[in-house]
Amino acid sequence: MPRTLTLTLLYCFPLLLCAQNAEDLGRTEPFLIGFKGTIYNFVIPRDGIDPKKGYDPEIEKTTPIGYVYAQKLFITERLLKSTFPGVPKGKEVFAIIYTGRFEVKTPNIYEFLLQSDDGSRLWIDSVEVINRDGSRQFREIKQGKIKLDAGFHDIKVWYFQCFPDRMGLVLMYKTPEDKAFKPFDFKPMEDEAKRYIQQDGEGIKIRFSEKVSFETGKSELVAAADSILAITVRMLNYNPEAKCRIEGHTDDVGNAKDNLLLSQSRAKAVATALKNRGIPTSVQLEVKGYGSTKPVASNSSAEGKSLNRRVDIVIEK
Protein backbone atom coordinates (compact mmCIF):
# COMPACT_ATOMS: atom_id res chain seq x y z
CA MET A 1 0.00 0.00 0.00
CA PRO A 2 1.27 3.53 -0.71
CA ARG A 3 2.43 5.73 2.12
CA THR A 4 1.61 9.44 2.15
CA LEU A 5 3.31 12.23 4.03
CA THR A 6 2.92 16.00 4.09
CA LEU A 7 5.79 18.47 3.95
CA THR A 8 5.46 22.23 4.01
CA LEU A 9 7.94 24.67 2.44
CA LEU A 10 10.19 21.87 1.22
CA TYR A 11 10.10 23.30 -2.29
CA CYS A 12 9.03 26.80 -3.11
CA PHE A 13 8.59 27.90 -6.73
CA PRO A 14 8.30 31.64 -7.38
CA LEU A 15 4.95 33.19 -8.21
CA LEU A 16 4.96 34.39 -11.81
CA LEU A 17 3.01 37.60 -12.33
CA CYS A 18 2.18 36.64 -15.90
CA ALA A 19 2.16 33.44 -17.89
CA GLN A 20 5.57 33.81 -19.54
CA ASN A 21 5.73 30.05 -20.09
CA ALA A 22 2.27 29.59 -21.60
CA GLU A 23 3.41 26.37 -23.28
CA ASP A 24 3.71 24.81 -19.82
CA LEU A 25 -0.08 24.87 -19.60
CA GLY A 26 -0.42 22.38 -22.46
CA ARG A 27 -2.15 22.60 -25.83
CA THR A 28 -5.36 21.55 -27.55
CA GLU A 29 -3.68 19.13 -30.00
CA PRO A 30 -2.68 15.66 -28.74
CA PHE A 31 0.96 14.70 -28.34
CA LEU A 32 2.27 11.43 -29.69
CA ILE A 33 2.89 10.36 -26.08
CA GLY A 34 1.66 12.33 -23.11
CA PHE A 35 -1.18 13.24 -20.78
CA LYS A 36 -4.75 13.70 -21.95
CA GLY A 37 -6.58 16.20 -19.76
CA THR A 38 -10.37 15.97 -19.68
CA ILE A 39 -11.87 19.26 -18.52
CA TYR A 40 -15.04 19.43 -16.45
CA ASN A 41 -17.31 22.17 -15.23
CA PHE A 42 -16.92 22.78 -11.52
CA VAL A 43 -18.99 24.88 -9.15
CA ILE A 44 -17.80 25.73 -5.65
CA PRO A 45 -20.59 24.85 -3.18
CA ARG A 46 -22.09 27.83 -1.36
CA ASP A 47 -21.54 26.16 2.00
CA GLY A 48 -17.88 25.48 1.21
CA ILE A 49 -15.91 22.30 0.65
CA ASP A 50 -16.59 19.18 2.71
CA PRO A 51 -13.08 18.21 3.94
CA LYS A 52 -14.08 14.53 4.05
CA LYS A 53 -15.31 14.40 0.45
CA GLY A 54 -12.98 16.95 -1.15
CA TYR A 55 -14.04 19.02 -4.12
CA ASP A 56 -16.21 16.66 -6.17
CA PRO A 57 -15.67 12.88 -6.06
CA GLU A 58 -18.35 12.42 -8.76
CA ILE A 59 -16.75 14.78 -11.28
CA GLU A 60 -15.94 12.02 -13.79
CA LYS A 61 -19.63 11.20 -14.15
CA THR A 62 -20.37 14.66 -15.56
CA THR A 63 -20.07 15.80 -19.19
CA PRO A 64 -16.63 17.10 -20.28
CA ILE A 65 -16.44 20.69 -21.50
CA GLY A 66 -13.04 20.44 -23.22
CA TYR A 67 -9.68 18.73 -23.53
CA VAL A 68 -6.04 19.71 -23.03
CA TYR A 69 -2.85 17.75 -23.70
CA ALA A 70 0.52 17.96 -21.94
CA GLN A 71 3.80 16.06 -21.79
CA LYS A 72 4.53 17.07 -18.22
CA LEU A 73 2.63 18.66 -15.36
CA PHE A 74 5.00 21.42 -14.33
CA ILE A 75 2.90 24.56 -14.01
CA THR A 76 4.70 26.65 -11.41
CA GLU A 77 2.53 28.94 -9.30
CA ARG A 78 1.37 31.88 -11.38
CA LEU A 79 -1.36 34.38 -12.04
CA LEU A 80 -3.60 33.07 -14.80
CA LYS A 81 -3.91 36.04 -17.16
CA SER A 82 -5.56 34.25 -20.08
CA THR A 83 -7.90 31.35 -20.72
CA PHE A 84 -6.41 27.93 -19.96
CA PRO A 85 -5.97 25.79 -23.12
CA GLY A 86 -9.09 23.76 -23.87
CA VAL A 87 -11.21 25.62 -21.31
CA PRO A 88 -14.18 27.58 -22.75
CA LYS A 89 -13.52 31.31 -22.86
CA GLY A 90 -14.44 33.10 -19.67
CA LYS A 91 -14.51 29.92 -17.58
CA GLU A 92 -12.32 30.54 -14.51
CA VAL A 93 -13.33 27.67 -12.22
CA PHE A 94 -12.88 24.15 -13.62
CA ALA A 95 -11.49 20.68 -13.01
CA ILE A 96 -9.06 18.64 -15.13
CA ILE A 97 -8.47 14.91 -14.93
CA TYR A 98 -5.16 14.00 -16.59
CA THR A 99 -4.65 10.40 -17.69
CA GLY A 100 -1.77 8.58 -19.36
CA ARG A 101 0.42 5.47 -19.36
CA PHE A 102 4.11 5.18 -18.61
CA GLU A 103 6.71 2.43 -18.78
CA VAL A 104 8.82 1.18 -15.89
CA LYS A 105 11.91 -0.68 -17.05
CA THR A 106 13.33 -1.54 -13.62
CA PRO A 107 11.16 -2.67 -10.69
CA ASN A 108 11.58 -0.26 -7.81
CA ILE A 109 9.91 1.88 -5.18
CA TYR A 110 8.93 5.15 -6.83
CA GLU A 111 8.28 8.29 -4.82
CA PHE A 112 5.98 10.96 -6.25
CA LEU A 113 5.62 14.62 -5.30
CA LEU A 114 2.46 16.62 -5.95
CA GLN A 115 2.07 20.36 -5.50
CA SER A 116 -0.88 22.48 -6.59
CA ASP A 117 -3.09 25.49 -6.10
CA ASP A 118 -5.85 24.30 -5.53
CA GLY A 119 -6.63 20.64 -4.82
CA SER A 120 -5.09 17.61 -6.55
CA ARG A 121 -4.88 13.82 -6.27
CA LEU A 122 -2.67 11.12 -7.83
CA TRP A 123 -3.44 7.50 -8.71
CA ILE A 124 -1.13 4.86 -10.15
CA ASP A 125 -2.91 1.74 -11.46
CA SER A 126 -6.09 2.77 -9.59
CA VAL A 127 -4.17 2.99 -6.29
CA GLU A 128 -4.34 6.42 -4.68
CA VAL A 129 -0.76 7.51 -3.97
CA ILE A 130 -1.34 11.15 -2.97
CA ASN A 131 -4.47 12.97 -1.81
CA ARG A 132 -4.18 16.73 -1.36
CA ASP A 133 -7.81 17.42 -2.17
CA GLY A 134 -9.58 20.48 -0.82
CA SER A 135 -8.49 24.10 -0.57
CA ARG A 136 -4.70 24.03 -0.76
CA GLN A 137 -1.85 26.47 -1.10
CA PHE A 138 0.90 25.82 -3.60
CA ARG A 139 3.65 25.80 -1.00
CA GLU A 140 2.14 22.72 0.67
CA ILE A 141 3.86 19.58 -0.60
CA LYS A 142 2.63 16.00 -0.44
CA GLN A 143 4.63 12.92 -1.33
CA GLY A 144 3.72 9.27 -1.67
CA LYS A 145 5.56 6.03 -2.43
CA ILE A 146 4.49 2.98 -4.41
CA LYS A 147 6.30 -0.15 -5.58
CA LEU A 148 6.07 -0.63 -9.34
CA ASP A 149 6.94 -3.71 -11.37
CA ALA A 150 8.51 -3.57 -14.83
CA GLY A 151 5.95 -2.85 -17.53
CA PHE A 152 3.31 -0.26 -18.30
CA HIS A 153 1.28 1.53 -15.66
CA ASP A 154 -1.74 3.84 -15.69
CA ILE A 155 -1.45 7.29 -14.15
CA LYS A 156 -4.27 9.67 -13.27
CA VAL A 157 -4.07 13.16 -11.77
CA TRP A 158 -7.07 15.20 -10.64
CA TYR A 159 -6.66 18.97 -10.54
CA PHE A 160 -9.21 21.51 -9.33
CA GLN A 161 -8.87 25.20 -10.27
CA CYS A 162 -11.01 27.19 -7.86
CA PHE A 163 -9.51 30.64 -7.42
CA PRO A 164 -9.72 32.51 -10.74
CA ASP A 165 -6.51 34.50 -10.48
CA ARG A 166 -3.95 31.94 -9.34
CA MET A 167 -2.99 28.40 -10.29
CA GLY A 168 -0.24 25.81 -10.20
CA LEU A 169 0.27 22.07 -10.67
CA VAL A 170 3.59 20.21 -10.37
CA LEU A 171 4.10 16.44 -10.55
CA MET A 172 7.59 15.02 -9.91
CA TYR A 173 9.11 11.66 -9.03
CA LYS A 174 12.30 9.89 -8.02
CA THR A 175 13.66 6.41 -7.32
CA PRO A 176 15.77 5.50 -4.27
CA GLU A 177 18.86 6.03 -6.45
CA ASP A 178 17.90 9.60 -7.41
CA LYS A 179 19.25 12.43 -5.28
CA ALA A 180 16.42 14.81 -6.13
CA PHE A 181 12.94 14.86 -7.60
CA LYS A 182 12.59 15.43 -11.34
CA PRO A 183 9.60 16.32 -13.52
CA PHE A 184 7.42 13.45 -14.71
CA ASP A 185 8.01 14.10 -18.42
CA PHE A 186 6.78 12.15 -21.47
CA LYS A 187 8.89 14.11 -23.99
CA PRO A 188 11.97 11.81 -23.91
CA MET A 189 9.68 8.86 -24.64
CA GLU A 190 8.15 10.67 -27.60
CA ASP A 191 11.55 11.74 -28.95
CA GLU A 192 12.70 8.11 -28.97
CA ALA A 193 9.52 6.93 -30.70
CA LYS A 194 9.83 9.55 -33.45
CA ARG A 195 12.96 7.81 -34.74
CA TYR A 196 10.82 4.90 -35.93
CA ILE A 197 7.52 6.39 -37.03
CA GLN A 198 5.89 8.66 -39.57
CA GLN A 199 2.88 10.90 -38.98
CA ASP A 200 0.34 11.95 -41.60
CA GLY A 201 -3.36 12.65 -41.95
CA GLU A 202 -4.23 9.03 -41.19
CA GLY A 203 -2.36 8.89 -37.90
CA ILE A 204 0.87 7.25 -36.73
CA LYS A 205 2.57 4.96 -39.24
CA ILE A 206 5.23 2.36 -38.47
CA ARG A 207 6.77 0.53 -41.42
CA PHE A 208 8.20 -3.00 -41.55
CA SER A 209 10.28 -3.16 -44.73
CA GLU A 210 10.99 -6.57 -46.25
CA LYS A 211 14.75 -6.19 -46.07
CA VAL A 212 14.76 -5.91 -42.27
CA SER A 213 11.64 -7.94 -41.42
CA PHE A 214 11.16 -10.89 -43.77
CA GLU A 215 13.09 -13.30 -45.93
CA THR A 216 12.30 -12.98 -49.63
CA GLY A 217 8.96 -14.56 -50.50
CA LYS A 218 8.28 -15.65 -46.92
CA SER A 219 6.02 -14.38 -44.15
CA GLU A 220 8.03 -15.36 -41.05
CA LEU A 221 9.51 -12.39 -39.21
CA VAL A 222 13.29 -12.40 -38.80
CA ALA A 223 15.24 -11.32 -35.72
CA ALA A 224 16.07 -7.93 -37.24
CA ALA A 225 12.40 -6.97 -36.90
CA ASP A 226 12.59 -7.09 -33.09
CA SER A 227 13.41 -3.40 -32.64
CA ILE A 228 10.46 -2.30 -34.79
CA LEU A 229 8.16 -4.72 -33.00
CA ALA A 230 9.32 -3.35 -29.65
CA ILE A 231 8.58 0.28 -30.54
CA THR A 232 5.19 -0.73 -31.96
CA VAL A 233 4.28 -2.54 -28.74
CA ARG A 234 5.32 0.52 -26.75
CA MET A 235 3.26 2.87 -28.93
CA LEU A 236 0.17 0.68 -28.54
CA ASN A 237 0.71 0.51 -24.78
CA TYR A 238 0.85 4.30 -24.70
CA ASN A 239 -2.40 4.33 -26.73
CA PRO A 240 -4.41 1.39 -25.33
CA GLU A 241 -7.71 2.51 -26.89
CA ALA A 242 -6.20 2.81 -30.36
CA LYS A 243 -7.63 1.52 -33.61
CA CYS A 244 -4.76 -0.11 -35.46
CA ARG A 245 -4.62 -1.24 -39.08
CA ILE A 246 -1.95 -3.73 -40.16
CA GLU A 247 -1.55 -3.57 -43.94
CA GLY A 248 0.55 -6.00 -45.99
CA HIS A 249 1.96 -4.97 -49.41
CA THR A 250 4.14 -6.48 -52.16
CA ASP A 251 5.74 -5.39 -55.43
CA ASP A 252 4.18 -6.34 -58.79
CA VAL A 253 6.49 -9.25 -59.57
CA GLY A 254 4.74 -12.60 -59.96
CA ASN A 255 1.14 -13.71 -59.77
CA ALA A 256 -1.35 -11.19 -58.33
CA LYS A 257 -3.14 -13.89 -56.32
CA ASP A 258 0.11 -15.13 -54.78
CA ASN A 259 1.12 -11.57 -53.94
CA LEU A 260 -2.21 -10.98 -52.21
CA LEU A 261 -1.80 -14.14 -50.13
CA LEU A 262 1.78 -13.21 -49.21
CA SER A 263 0.74 -9.70 -48.14
CA GLN A 264 -2.04 -11.15 -46.00
CA SER A 265 0.29 -13.70 -44.39
CA ARG A 266 2.88 -11.04 -43.53
CA ALA A 267 0.27 -8.74 -42.02
CA LYS A 268 -1.05 -11.63 -39.91
CA ALA A 269 2.49 -12.51 -38.83
CA VAL A 270 3.03 -8.98 -37.54
CA ALA A 271 -0.34 -9.00 -35.75
CA THR A 272 0.47 -12.31 -34.06
CA ALA A 273 3.91 -11.07 -32.99
CA LEU A 274 2.38 -7.94 -31.44
CA LYS A 275 -0.19 -9.96 -29.49
CA ASN A 276 2.49 -12.35 -28.26
CA ARG A 277 4.55 -9.40 -27.01
CA GLY A 278 1.73 -8.07 -24.87
CA ILE A 279 -0.19 -5.26 -26.50
CA PRO A 280 -3.30 -4.15 -24.55
CA THR A 281 -6.37 -6.28 -25.23
CA SER A 282 -8.33 -3.04 -25.70
CA VAL A 283 -6.42 -2.23 -28.92
CA GLN A 284 -8.61 -2.84 -31.98
CA LEU A 285 -6.60 -4.64 -34.68
CA GLU A 286 -7.64 -4.79 -38.33
CA VAL A 287 -5.45 -6.98 -40.56
CA LYS A 288 -5.54 -6.75 -44.34
CA GLY A 289 -3.37 -7.63 -47.34
CA TYR A 290 -3.35 -5.49 -50.49
CA GLY A 291 -0.89 -7.37 -52.69
CA SER A 292 0.69 -4.95 -55.17
CA THR A 293 -2.30 -2.58 -55.42
CA LYS A 294 -0.92 0.22 -53.20
CA PRO A 295 2.70 0.91 -54.18
CA VAL A 296 4.64 3.76 -52.54
CA ALA A 297 7.26 3.81 -55.31
CA SER A 298 7.61 2.80 -58.94
CA ASN A 299 8.07 -0.92 -59.57
CA SER A 300 10.35 -0.13 -62.52
CA SER A 301 13.50 -0.28 -60.36
CA ALA A 302 14.91 -2.68 -57.79
CA GLU A 303 14.90 0.10 -55.20
CA GLY A 304 11.24 0.87 -55.88
CA LYS A 305 10.27 -2.79 -55.62
CA SER A 306 12.09 -3.02 -52.29
CA LEU A 307 10.14 -0.06 -50.91
CA ASN A 308 6.85 -1.60 -51.99
CA ARG A 309 7.50 -4.89 -50.17
CA ARG A 310 6.41 -3.84 -46.70
CA VAL A 311 3.93 -4.08 -43.83
CA ASP A 312 2.52 -0.78 -42.57
CA ILE A 313 1.00 -0.34 -39.13
CA VAL A 314 -1.34 2.64 -38.94
CA ILE A 315 -2.46 3.79 -35.50
CA GLU A 316 -5.47 5.93 -36.34
CA LYS A 317 -5.95 9.38 -34.90
Structure confidence by residue, pLDDT tens digits, 42-97: 876 655 556 555 566 678 889 999 999 999 999 998 887 777 899 998 888 899 99
Facing residues of 143 across strands? Answer: 5, 113
- Which pLDDT tens digit goes with each residue over 241-258? 899 999 999 999 999 999
Q: Are 102 and 239 in contact (CB under 8 A)?
A: no
Domains of the chain: 3-187 (2.60.120.1560), 196-316 (3.30.1330.60)
End-to-end, the C-alpha distance of the chain in Å comes to: 37
- Which pLDDT tens digit goes with each residue over 160-217? 887 667 889 999 999 989 999 999 999 988 888 888 888 877 788 898 887 778 887 8
- pLDDT band with cut points at 50, 70 and 90 for residue 37: very high
Q: Give the residue with greater pLDDT, 146 vs 43.
A: 146
pLDDT of residue 246: 95
* Three-class DSSP category at 276: helix
Closest CA to 101 of 124, 83, 122: 124
pLDDT of residue 156: 97
The mean pLDDT value of the chain amounts to: 85
Give the strands of the sheet with 35-41, arranged side by side.
Answer: 64-70, 35-41, 94-104, 151-161, 120-124, 127-132
Q: Are 76 and 170 in contact (CB under 8 A)?
A: yes
Global pTM reads 0.80
Q: Report the amino acid identity of residue 274.
A: L
